[in-house]
Amino acid sequence: MTASPSVIGTDDELGDGAHLDVVIVGAGLSGIGAAYRLQTECPGRSYTILEARDAMGGTWDLFRYPGVRSDSDMFTLGYPFKPWRDAKSIADGPSILRYIRETAAEFGIDRHIRYGTRVVDADWSTADARWTLTVEQDGVRRTLTCSFLYSCAGYYDYEKPYAPTFPGIDDFAGEVVHPQLWPEDLDYADKRVVIIGSGATAVTLVPSMAQTAAHVTMLQRSPTWISAVPARDRIADKIRESLPPNAAHQIVRTKNILFGIGFYQFCQRRPERARKLLTGLSTRILKDEQMVKDHFTPTYNPWDQRLCAVPDADLFKAIKKGSASVVTDHIDMFVPEGIRLQSGEVLEADVVVTATGLQLLAFGGIQPHVDGRPVALSEEFVWRGAMVSGVPNFAVCIGYTNASWTLRADLTSRLVCKVLNHMDKNGLAAVEPRPDTDLQERPLLDLASGYVQRSIDAFPKQGDRTPWKVRQNYVLDAATTLRTNLSRTLHGTPRSAVRRSRPVGVPAPAPAHADETMEVAS
C-alpha cells in the first residue's frame, strides 16, 4: 500500500470515484479512536470516515432515553491518549458525546467525516487489490475505492431494535416506546410506567424515570446480576489532584483495568463466592433479604452474562423510597389498562417501555464480496479479534464483553496500523489471515445474553487457540497483540502480482490465480 502525501476526507475533496488508502466505517467512539491511531502511527495515508447517520457519536448520539449512561468507568471507556477530566467516573450519555466530539475536534478528525453516507456494497478485487465501495447519500449512489476497509460500526442495528411481539399490544390504551427510538416529546410525569426488561437499559431507566413518574415498575422474566458502584472514583480524584492529567489518567486507567480483570476472574473461578458477595451487597442496601432472593439473584453465575452496574445504588434507592418496584413474572398479554401477567396480576400502566434489547447486525450491515462473490461470514474465523479469514485488507472493531469496549477497540486500531506498516515494509498489496490447521468453532461473542444468542450465527466464529481465539483479558492482549509475528498467519500478495489500477466502472478481468498469492517471508 502506498502512502499518500495528503489526507482526503472533506466534502470538497472526496468526489465520485475517489481513491483512499483507508476507509473507516462509523464515526462513534471506535471510529474516532481508529482515525487518531491512523493519523499518528501511519502518517500520510489518505482516509475518510463514512458515517451513515447525520451526527458523530454512534451509540452516544443515538440513545436519548432518560438517564442514558455508560456501564463502564470512563478511565477505561475513554481513550488512552485523551484524559477523562469530568468528575463522574460512570458518566452520562451527553458527557460521553461531548468527550467524543472534543477528541475529534482536537485532533482534526472531524474534518474527515462524511455524514449521511451509508456503505451499501463492498467488493474486493483480487486483481486490483482494492475495495470498490458503493455508498448512498441522500438517495444517490456512487462509488469510491480504497486499499483497506476498517469497520468500526459496532455489532447491532442502529435503525431496528429487537421488538418481540406481545399479544394484545394493540389493545393497550397507553403509549408504548422503545429506548432506542425514544420520542423527544414523551411526557411521563405523574404517570404509571412499566419497563419491560432487566438489562443495563432497564436499570438505567428505572431510577431516572422514577424521579418524576407516579411510579415505575421494572418487569423482568428473570433477574440480572446488578452491582452498586460509586459514580465518582475517590481514589482517582486524589490522583488527579496530585499529578498532571496525562499521568493521572494512565495510572487510574491501569488501576481500573486490573480491578476489572481481577473481579471477572474471581467470578469465573469462584462463582459461589461471587454470588454470595453480590447478594450480600444488595441485601445490605435494600435491607430486604427476601426481595434480593426473589428479584436480584439470577440462576446463572456472575459474568455468564454482562454484569449491570448501578452508580451510587440509584436503582436500589428508588426501590427503597417506594417510587419504583420490581416484578418477576412472565407476560400473559397486554390489556387496555396495562399488562396481565401469567400469575393473573395486572400491572396498570400509562406508559410501557420495551427495554427488550438490541438486534445484532454484523459490521454495520456491510456484506463483503470478494471478486463479486458474497462472503459467508458465518463460515469464517476472526484473527486477533480484528481481521476475518477469506476477506483481504479488511478489519473489524469488536470490543470486550467483560470490560470497556474501548480497551480492545484501541488495541485493534493499533494492530491495524501495524498491519498497514507491515504491508509497506514488505511490498505487499494485500494481506489475509488463514488458519494453518482446522479450528474448533466457538461463537464470536461468548455470552448467554438473549440478544447475543438470537443472532450470533450470522457472525464469523472464533477458534479454540491463539491467534483465532478472541480472549477476554486485556492484560494478555496488551502484552501480545502488538508483538505478534504477522508473517506466520497473514498471507500476502506482493505488489508485483497486482495489475495497475483501472478507472472505476471498467469491468475487471478474471480473478488472479492462486499461485499469485504467497505467504509472507519473515
Query: What ranges do the domains of the chain cover?
Result: 19-158+359-519, 169-354
How high is the pLDDT of residue 179?
94
Secondary structure class of 411 (helix, strand, coil) = helix
- Average model confidence (pLDDT) for the chain? 89
Question: Cα separation of 315 and 192, whole Å?
Answer: 17
Tens of pLDDT, residues 96-119: 999 999 999 999 999 999 999 999
How high is the pLDDT of residue 230?
93
How high is the pLDDT of residue 162?
81
Higher pLDDT, 9 or 390: 390
Q: Is the pLDDT of residue 431 over 90?
A: yes
Residue whose cell numbers read 467524543: 100
- 49-58, 491-500, 501-510, range with the lowest pLDDT: 501-510
How high is the pLDDT of residue 3?
37
- In angstroms, what CA-CA distances link 197 with 25, 222, 331? 31, 9, 11
Percent of the chain with pLDDT over 90: 76
Going by CATH, does the domain composed of 169-354 fall within 3.50.50.60? yes
How high is the pLDDT of residue 437?
85
Tens of pLDDT, residues 82-99: 999 999 999 999 999 999
How high is the pLDDT of residue 205?
97
Homologous superfamily in CATH for domain 19-158+359-519? FAD/NAD(P)-binding domain (3.50.50.60)
For the residues 41-69, what does the mean pLDDT come to?
95
Percent of the chain with pLDDT over 70: 90
Which residues are 140's β-sheet partners?
Answer: 137
Asked if 38 contacts 413 with a C-beta cutoff of 8 angstroms, the reply is yes
- 42-46, 310-314, 377-381, 516-520, range with the lowest pLDDT: 516-520
Q: Which of 13-22, 197-206, 458-467 has the highest mean pLDDT?
A: 197-206
For the residues 142-169, what does the mean pLDDT come to?
90
Q: Is the pLDDT of residue 9 over 60?
A: no
Helix (H) or strand (E) holding 509: none
How high is the pLDDT of residue 516?
30
Secondary structure class of 95 (helix, strand, coil) = helix
How high is the pLDDT of residue 450?
59
For the residues 438-466, what does the mean pLDDT come to?
75
How high is the pLDDT of residue 398?
87
How high is the pLDDT of residue 15?
66
How high is the pLDDT of residue 521?
29
For the residues 248-270, what does the mean pLDDT come to?
95
Q: Is the pLDDT of residue 502 over 50?
A: no
How high is the pLDDT of residue 151?
96
Cell of 520: 509472507
pTM of the model: 0.89
Asked if 423 contacts 431 with a C-beta cutoff of 8 angstroms, the reply is yes
Q: Is the pLDDT of residue 515 over 70?
A: no
Asked if 520 contacts 431 with a C-beta cutoff of 8 angstroms, the reply is yes
Higher pLDDT, 386 or 6: 386
Tens of pLDDT, residues 360-394: 787 888 889 999 999 998 899 999 999 999 999 99
Closest by CA to 145, choosing from 15, 25, 20, is 20
Strand blocks (E) in 221-342:
226-229, 308-311, 324-328, 331-335, 338-341
Cell of 122: 463492498
Question: Cα separation of 103 and 82, whole Å?
Answer: 7
Tens of pLDDT, residues 468-485: 998 888 999 999 999 988
Tens of pLDDT, residues 271-286: 999 999 999 999 999 9
Closest by CA to 462, choosing from 394, 383, 344, is 383
Tens of pLDDT, residues 210-236: 999 999 999 999 999 999 999 999 999
How high is the pLDDT of residue 454?
62
- 308-322, 394-408, 415-429, range with the lowest pLDDT: 394-408
pLDDT band at 401 (very low <50, low <70, confident <90, very high): confident
Question: Cα separation of 181 and 205, whole Å?
Answer: 14
Closest by CA to 413, choosing from 398, 391, 428, is 398
Q: Is the pLDDT of residue 8 over 60?
A: no
Tens of pLDDT, residues 338-360: 999 999 999 999 999 999 888 87
Question: Cα separation of 519 and 522, whole Å?
Answer: 9
Asked if 142 contacts 388 with a C-beta cutoff of 8 angstroms, the reply is no
Q: Is the pLDDT of residue 330 over 90?
A: yes
pLDDT band at 304 (very low <50, low <70, confident <90, very high): confident
How high is the pLDDT of residue 453?
59
Q: Is there a common fold for 19-158+359-519 and 169-354?
A: yes
